[in-house]
Amino acid sequence: MAGIGTAVGRGVDTTYTNPALLSAQHHREFTFGWQSTRFVLYAEGPNAPGDLSEDSLHGTTIGVVLPVPFGDFLEDRVTLGLGVFTPSTLIARARLLYPERPQFPVLTDRAQTLNFNAGAGVDIGYGLRVGAGALALAELTGTVVVRTDSTGRVGTAVDDQLIATYAPVAGASWDFAQDYTAGLVYRGTLRGDFDVVVQVNDLGSLTVPDLNITGVAQYDPMQVQAEVGRRLGAWTFAVAATYKRWGAFDGWQRPTVKCPAAQPDCAALTPEPVEFHDTVVPRVAAAYAFELSPDAKAEVRAGYFWEPTPVGEQTGSANYFDNDRHVLGVGYGLELAEPLPPIRVDVVYQHQFLAPRSHQKKAGVATDNAGYPKVKTGGQVMSTGIALGVKF
């Protein structure tokens, strides 16, 4: 459904698309799913590597929707939701490559991170629902102290920690007319840093500054999505727009050596700034539901969205590639009811086309740079998934 779901979403996905819609669920449901994504990417040019495809990414999803059986005025009004997507065995990937290495950091690295979404929705009445939740991510901080021990040999003391970072999600939906629903959701910035400081002491005549192995491992910009959905008989239509505040992102890399206050103009290297700008993503989707039998319903879904790139043209030495994307998705859902087992099966396929893009390097860029003098990037991303839900 192309990221649609702020007004017409359902199931555990609403912990992300709009937690307010959780309150429309009045039965407990456990969901288990599997997803696979394949990246076929390229960067072509005189120095470019050509194929930049990534290994296929596989992951599992687990989710649960739990209506809370309050009594009195809260009866059938409050629902909790919890969803986790785990890419193979990863919680997060921190891949901060040298900027001149050809790479697609927005596209590939973000997909290889655990998504942990939890939320609650409340049915206020009068067609109004509100909800809130949190998205979670892990970041790494630590220190490494290098020094000589009592035997005069090099020794190290290490202390590293994983720390959880969170971003809020808040949403609302309103059935503002018969068969019409509007939804609005806000997602805060979700950022996972990598921050390890190497301190080197007492190494003979060698004096080394603190080395900051730091950067931003994962970044999701602040987002606001507005959506309107309409149910027309067996059909559901929805249009949406997502605003992403990429302009607030200041890039992945940080200086390895920081100039001290006493020497603010030291010659330590500073990463070249990366240009990011805000984006707006338009989305459209439709679904058609029909009965296979009195105890089996099916739904066919399709959607499209256009995701403009937030990354500026790579005219300097950096080669952070990203492209506009046209994304098509199709899906099929089957839901059984008593006397059959209360099972729901959803399958989905999504195809992303990266619009070809050229980057022209400025004068002064090293001639052996992978993007010199010009590089053309593009590719495709294919995803498929299946989810099994059971009501209990």
Partner 1 sequence: MRRGLAPALAALLVAGSLHASPADTFGLGSRSTAMGSAVSADVRDFSANYYNPSGLVLTRGLDITAGYYYADHSLEMNGKDSRVDPVRGIVGGLVAPGSIGFLPFAFGIATFLPDDRISRARASRQEDPRWVFYDNRTQLIFISANLAIRPFEWLSIGGGLTYLAATRGSFGISGTAVLPAGNKTEYDSELRHEVDADLTTERYPELGVTVRPHERLDLALVYRHQAAIELDVDAELTGTVDATLIKVPARYSLDSYTVNAFIPRQVVVGGSYRPIDELSVNLDLKWVDWSSFKSPVSRSSTTLDVNVPPGIIELPPNPKPTQLEEPGLVDRIVPLLGIEYRLEVTPDLVVPIRGGYIYEHSPVPPQTGITNYVDTDRHVLSFGTGVVLREPGALLPGNLRFDAHAQWSILPTRVTLKDSPADYVGDYRARGNILNVGATVSVGFE
Segment contacting partner 1 by CB under 8 A, of 137-145, 236-244, 315-323, 329-337: 137-145
Residue 79 and residue 66 in contact, taking contact as beta carbons nearer than 8 Å: yes
CB of 95 to partner 1, least distance (A): 5
Q: Which is nearer to partner 1, 213 or 289 (CB)?
A: 213
Which of 36, 68, 74 minimizes the C-alpha distance to 55?
A: 36
Task: State whether the Cα torsion 167-168-174-179 is positive or negative.
Answer: positive
By the rule CB under 8 A, 363 interacts with partner 1: no
- Window contacting partner 1 (CB under 8 A); options: 6-14, 81-89, 367-375, 379-387: 81-89
Tell me: does residue 146 bind partner 1 (CB under 8 A): yes
Q: Is residue 334 close enough to count as binding partner 1 by CB under 8 A? A: no
Q: Which of residues 220-249 bind partner 1 (CB under 8 A)?
A: none
CA distance 8 to 226: 11
302 touching partner 1, by CB under 8 A: no
158 binds partner 1 (CB under 8 A): yes
For partner 1, the closer of residues 177 and 203 by Cβ is 203
Q: Are 21 and 13 in contact (CB under 8 A)?
A: no
Cα angle 196, 201, 204 (rounded to 5 degrees) comes to 140
Window 94-113: residues binding partner 1 (CB under 8 A): 94-98, 101
- Site residues for partner 1, window 247-276 (CB under 8 A)? 253, 255-260, 263, 266-269, 271
Burial of 234 (0-12, 13-18, 19+ CB in 10 A): exposed
Which residues, 2 to 31, sit near partner 1 by CB under 8 A?
28, 30
| 69/273 with CB nearer partner 1 | 69
Q: Among 10, 93, 245, 297, which residue interacts with partner 1 (rule: CB under 8 A)?
A: 93
Nearer residue to partner 1 within complex by CB, 159 or 313:
159
**In terms of Cα–Cα distance, which of 287, 292, 386 is closest to 346?**
386
Alpha-carbon span 286 to 229, nearest angstrom:
9
For 127, counting Cβ atoms within 10 Å of its Cβ (0-12 exposed, 13-18 middle, 19+ buried), the class is middle
Q: Which is nearer to partner 1, 146 or 284 (by Cβ)?
A: 146
As a whole number of angstroms, the longest Cα–Cα distance in the chain is 83
Burial 155-181 (b: 16+ CB within 10 A, else e): eeeeeeeeeeeebebbbbbbbeeeeeb
For partner 1, the binding residue among 50, 51, 76, 155 (CB under 8 A) is 155
Among 26, 76, 154, 247, binds partner 1 (CB under 8 A): 154
Q: Which of 5, 171, 215, 385 binds partner 1 (CB under 8 A)?
A: 215
Whole-angstrom distance, CA of residue 24 vs CA of residue 78: 9
The verdict on 293 binding partner 1 (CB under 8 A) reads: no
**Joined tokens for residue 201:** 């002491």
CB 227 within 8 A of CB 183: yes
Options 51, 55, 76, 159; binder of partner 1; rule CB under 8 A: 159
Select 100 or 346, whichever has its Cβ closest to partner 1. 100
- How many residues lie near partner 1 (CB under 8 A)? 83
Binding segment for partner 1 (CB under 8 A), chosen from 62-70, 167-175, 301-309, 322-330, is 62-70
